[in-house]
């Protein structure tokens, strides 16, 4: 009797062991299949697909950049329309970034659960709808609320766009392609100055800023295009074990390459990891021993670079007027010209980042920002030689340095974290940038309202740039020309 029970138990255990072995083999086979799909994606040549997705996502970024900066270039006429003080105007700038911080976190969480594409489309719709609302705002308080609500969409668009884009671009050319797409966002900044200059010249009305908010509703047009013509992230599909959909995408891209008679790219020295990271998404993993150093580094990068860029750039057009001595239109024209020059230099950045490396460019960026801040502090302080030209020179150095770091932040963060938490990592970094963007205009607005020396503002920005420079030098790791799975596994 006991012998029969022992035999039955042995058979049951053998069955369980056999099932476990089969399950392990199936799991290993599925992982190998996923690895092969990623390898096939990495070997693809540049295709019209890559240009198409770059254009769609880049256009969304351009409009996001336009909507983000537009409040800065129309700050003076908006304040004049509603009789707002400099401190109140700073709060208006900060309200948009408060919404962005919230939007980045909310949509970052949803993008890990529901994909990159659908949350991005929703975010673009939010941007456009509340921009229309801002155009007809009857009071300063209403504009403040509408700008905060629009910020929810503005904060979500860049992290989702750059996550989706980076997850499709092969490692050997990811830096160049990602930064060229980031140029769209910078072009949106420049376009905001140009449109403000054009609208105010044509309308000759203090209410011309309302027209600019109507133009800011253009994301309503790009959202349907992304919905119908952009694919979901292949890497996200693999994490969610939707392998059939992922394979269909890779197969269609390979067929496109075959039709165009393009050769596959050799991946010398770019080994795949032993197995993909197929763990569940845990948002607190940012603070795990594996990733907490990277989390600290990227948060410092996001906060410092955006504090410098937004804090100073938001007020620079107004500083050209007082104490710089320029007219409102001259100030806008100068802001546009500096933006165009910065944009041109960023193209050099994009075409060298895959050879020169990410870390070296971050060091250069923070060094330039610190140098511009030191120069501005000396001119406005001990030398007492401030003018619009010297403000422009100091501002150009600071803006270029900050732009380098801001543009690289999306790329670098995407490379340091795995697919299961990539959008969340970028979104939390973006929320820190929004926190900096909230604090900086308010602090600078208060300092300006108290008629304190501009040298104090420059000194404060220098005090941020130098520690950030040291942090990148000590904690930064190079990620150029490597596949995402190898970097973040």
Q: How sure is the predictor about 452, in pLDDT bands with cuts at 50, 70 and 90? A: low
For residue 79, cis peptide bond before it (omega within 30 degrees of 0): no
Q: Which residue has the higher pLDDT, 442 or 6?
A: 442
Which tokens in the block code for residue 195?
């449109």
Q: What CA–CA distance (Å, rounded) separates 430 from 432?
A: 5
Contact at 8 Å (CB) between 406 and 309? yes
Which tokens in the block code for residue 313?
């750039």
Name the nearest CA neighbour of 90 among 126, 156, 140: 140
* Average pLDDT value for residue range 244-256: 92
Q: What CA–CA distance (Å, rounded) separates 36 from 485?
A: 12
Name the one residue in this structure whose structure tokens are 């392990």: 24
DSSP string, 98-133: HHHHHHHHHHHHHHHHH-SHHHHHHHHHHHHHHHHH
* Average pLDDT value for residue range 32-57: 90
pLDDT over 60 (residue 89): yes
Q: Which residue has the higher pLDDT, 324 or 399?
A: 399
What was the pLDDT predicted at 274? 46
Q: How sure is the predictor about 121, in pLDDT bands with cuts at 50, 70 and 90? A: very high
Summarised one tens digit per residue, pLDDT across range 360-373 is: 999 999 999 999 88
Q: Which residue has the higher pLDDT, 328 or 360?
A: 360
pLDDT over 70 (residue 323): no
What was the pLDDT predicted at 124? 96
Which tokens in the block code for residue 141?
């308080």
Q: Which residue has the higher pLDDT, 28 or 349?
A: 349
Q: Which residues contact 255 (CB under 8 A, 6 or more apart)?
A: none
Mean confidence (pLDDT) of the chain: 83
Least confident interval from 11-20, 77-86, 338-347, 385-394: 11-20
22 C-beta neighbours (distance < 10 Å), count: 10
CA–centroid distance for 79 within its chain = 29
pLDDT over 60 (residue 343): yes
Least confident interval from 12-26, 149-163, 238-252, 380-394: 12-26
Contact at 8 Å (CB) between 111 and 224? no
Q: What CA–CA distance (Å, rounded) separates 233 from 236?
A: 5
Name the one residue in this structure whose structure tokens are 């600078």: 444
* Average pLDDT value for residue range 212-221: 94
Residue 132 to residues 86, 128, 290, 300, Cα–Cα distance (Å)? 25, 6, 44, 35
Residue burial 388-409, b: 16+ Cβ < 10 Å; e: rest = bebbbbbbbbbbbbbbbbbbbb
Summarised one tens digit per residue, pLDDT across range 126-157 is: 999 999 999 999 999 999 999 999 999 999 99
Contact at 8 Å (CB) between 434 and 309? no
What was the pLDDT predicted at 144? 93
pLDDT over 90 (residue 314): no
DSSP classification of residue 273: P
Residue 72 to residues 50, 193, 253, 314, 342, Cα–Cα distance (Å)? 33, 9, 42, 5, 18
What are the structural domain ranges in the chain? 48-257+286-488
What was the pLDDT predicted at 277? 46
What was the pLDDT predicted at 380? 67
What was the pLDDT predicted at 235? 92
Instruction: For domain 48-257+286-488, give the CATH number.
Output: 1.20.1250.20
What was the pLDDT predicted at 194? 82
3-state helix, strand, coil in the chain (%, to 5): 80, 0, 20
What was the pLDDT predicted at 220? 95
pTM of the model as a whole: 0.83
Give the angle subtended at the CA of 163 by the CAs of 160 and 169, to the nearest 5°. Answer: 140
| Number of continuous H segments (helices) and E segments (strands) in the chain | 19, 0
What was the pLDDT predicted at 104? 93
Q: What CA–CA distance (Å, rounded) separates 311 from 307?
A: 5
Give the angle subtended at the CA of 246 by the CAs of 273 and 183, to the nearest 5°. Answer: 80
**CB-neighbour burial class of residue 19 (10 A; exposed 0-12, middle 13-18, buried 19+):** exposed
Q: Is the dihedral of CA 179, 233, 51, 170 positive or negative?
A: positive
Which tokens in the block code for residue 476?
């930064």
What was the pLDDT predicted at 481? 84
**CB-neighbour burial class of residue 145 (10 A; exposed 0-12, middle 13-18, buried 19+):** middle
Q: How sure is the predictor about 458, in pLDDT bands with cuts at 50, 70 and 90? A: confident
Summarised one tens digit per residue, pLDDT across range 57-69 is: 999 999 988 888 7
Query: Highest-confidence range of 245-249, 390-394, 397-401, by mean pLDDT?
Result: 245-249
What was the pLDDT predicted at 275? 47
pLDDT over 60 (residue 13): no
Phi, psi of 417 (to 5 degrees): -130, 145
Which tokens in the block code for residue 257?
């390459």
pLDDT over 70 (residue 472): yes
Least confident interval from 205-219, 336-350, 377-391, 432-446: 377-391
């Amino acid at each position: 009797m006991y012998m029969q029970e022992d035999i039955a138990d042995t058979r049951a255990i053998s069955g369980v062991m056999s099932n476990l072995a089969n399950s392990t083999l199936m799991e290993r086979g599925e992982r190998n299949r996923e690895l092969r799909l990623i390898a096939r994606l990495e070997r693809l040549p540049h295709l019209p697909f890559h240009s198409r997705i770059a254009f769609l996502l880049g256009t969304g970024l351009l409009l996001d950049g336009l909507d983000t900066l537009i409040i800065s270039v129309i700050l003076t006429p908006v304040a004049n329309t509603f009789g707002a003080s400099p401190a109140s105007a700073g709060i208006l700038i900060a309200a948009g970034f408060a919404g962005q911080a919230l939007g980045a976190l909310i949509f970052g969480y949803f993008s890990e659960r529901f994909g990159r594409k659908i949350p991005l489309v929703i975010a673009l719709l939010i941007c456009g709808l509340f921009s229309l609302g801002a155009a007809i705002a009857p009071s300063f308080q209403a504009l403040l609320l509408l700008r905060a609500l629009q910020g929810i969409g503005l904060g979500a668009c860049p992290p989702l766009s750059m996550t989706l884009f980076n997850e499709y671009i092969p490692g050997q050319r990811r830096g160049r392609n990602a930064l060229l797409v980031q140029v769209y966002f910078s072009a949106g900044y420049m376009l905001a100055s140009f449109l403000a200059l054009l609208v105010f010249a044509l309308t000759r009305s203090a209410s011309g800023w309302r027209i600019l908010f109507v133009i800011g509703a253009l994301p309503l047009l790009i959202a349907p295009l992304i919905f119908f013509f952009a694919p979901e992230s292949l890497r996200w599909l693999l994490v969610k074990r939707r392998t059939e959909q992922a394979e269909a995408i890779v197969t269609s891209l390979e067929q496109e390459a075959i039709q165009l008679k393009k050769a596959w790219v050799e991946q010398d020295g770019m080994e795949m990891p032993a197995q993909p990271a197929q763990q569940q998404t845990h948002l607190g993993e940012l603070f795990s021993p594996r990733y907490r150093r990277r989390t600290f580094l990227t948060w410092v990068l996001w906060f410092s670079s955006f504090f410098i860029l937004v804090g100073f750039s938001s007020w620079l057009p107004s500083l050209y007027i007082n104490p710089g001595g320029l007219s409102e239109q001259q100030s806008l024209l100068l802001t546009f010209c500096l933006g165009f020059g910065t944009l041109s230099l960023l193209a050099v950045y994009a075409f060298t980042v895959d050879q020169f490396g990410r870390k070296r460019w971050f060091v250069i960026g923070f060094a330039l920002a610190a140098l511009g801040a030191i120069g501005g502090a000396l001119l406005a302080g001990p030398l007492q030689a401030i003018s619009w030209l010297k403000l422009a020179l100091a501002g150009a150095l600071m803006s270029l340095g900050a732009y380098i770091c801001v543009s690289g932040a999306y790329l670098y963060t995407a490379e340091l974290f795995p697919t299961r938490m990539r959008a969340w990592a970028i979104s939390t970094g973006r929320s820190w940038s929004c926190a900096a963007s909230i604090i900086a205009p308010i602090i600078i607005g208060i300092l300006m309202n108290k008629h304190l020396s501009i040298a104090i503002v420059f000194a404060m920005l220098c005090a941020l740039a130098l520690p950030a420079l040291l942090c990148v030098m000590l904690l930064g790791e190079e990620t150029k020309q490597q596949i995402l799975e190898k970097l973040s596994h």
